[in-house]
Amino acid sequence: MREVLSYCLGGALLLKRSSSVSASLGLARLTSAAVCPCAAQCILFCTVVKNCCVTSIDQSGAKVTVKVKDGREFTGDRIISTIPFTVLQDVKVTPAWSSRKKSMFEQMEWDKTVKVIVQTKSPAWLSQGVHGWPMAGSDHAWERVVDITGNEPGGYGNVFFYLNGTNAERLLARPRETRAQEIVDLFEKDMPGLFDEVVTVQDFAWSEQPWIRASFGAPPWVEPG
């Protein structure tokens, strides 16, 4: 019997027990489950343990030991971690990461995407033939707006503004209570008549989420030559 640990589904710990005949088969199955936590394999072969905030990973012995915030410990033959690099740096790892892995974690460049989500009394833009992904874009701070009205009951219209780079950073520097409304106000100035009555406005900032602290990550750009 082999045991492999992985993490997925909002901080849940995935425990895989496999009587696979070979280690490579066991690992291949686990990799697929880790990449797609909802895969049938995951449900068939794994136990998902919820509310497991990993605080340390010890790989110094024959087995891997993972400790979580509430004091529980889990052991396995192997570990596959999908914890984002932004958070992984707070997890105590023994033995320490190699210097190359450490510098990869540190040098990764992360964006701070913000979505401003708006509900209107009706999707007035659709009746004017304006739709799409995005339905409008700009070099102003509202950047681009996407229709997500779908088939929600009540006749409401729904959109989100998708802000990245300097636009996201500018919004994050504004007061939290008013920053989302400021984007709506800018948009309505540029595109009057597309929104009828605004019902709700809120924002979601990836950099403010404790389990990721950023949105898109990429290695730093290196000048060729």
Residues found near ligand FAD in the complex (CB under 6 A): 7, 9-11, 52-54, 82-84, 87, 91, 113, 206, 211-212, 215-216
- The β-bridge partners of 17 are 3
Give the strands of the sheet with 2-8, arranged side by side.
Answer: 46-49, 12-18, 2-8, 78-80
Check if the beta carbon of residue 179 is closer than 8 Å to that of residue 187: no
Of residues 48 and 126, the one with the C-beta less far from ligand FAD: 48
Q: How far is the CB of 153 from ligand FAD (least distance, A)?
A: 25
Of residues 27 and 68, the one with the C-beta less far from ligand FAD: 68
Of residues 54 and 194, the one with the C-beta less far from ligand FAD: 54
Query: How many Å apart are CA 125 and CA 131, to the nearest integer?
Result: 7
Check if the beta carbon of residue 54 is closer than 8 Å to that of residue 66: yes
Of residues 3 and 196, the one with the C-beta less far from ligand FAD: 3
Q: How far is the CB of 128 from ligand FAD (least distance, A)?
A: 26
Cβ neighbours of residue 83 closer than 8 Å, sequence gap 6 or more: 7, 54, 91
Of residues 35 and 43, the one with the C-beta less far from ligand FAD: 35
Q: How far is the CB of 178 from ligand FAD (least distance, A)?
A: 22
Q: How far is the CB of 51 from ligand FAD (least distance, A)?
A: 9
Of residues 87 and 191, the one with the C-beta less far from ligand FAD: 87
| Residues 122, 126, 128, 131, Cα dihedral to 10° | 140
Q: How many residues does the chain have?
A: 225
Check if the beta carbon of residue 130 is closer than 8 Å to that of residue 136: yes
Q: How far is the CB of 167 from ligand FAD (least distance, A)?
A: 13
Q: How far is the CB of 221 from ligand FAD (least distance, A)?
A: 20
Alpha helices of the chain — where are they, by DSSP H? 23-35, 40-45, 85-88, 99-107, 124-127, 165-172, 179-190
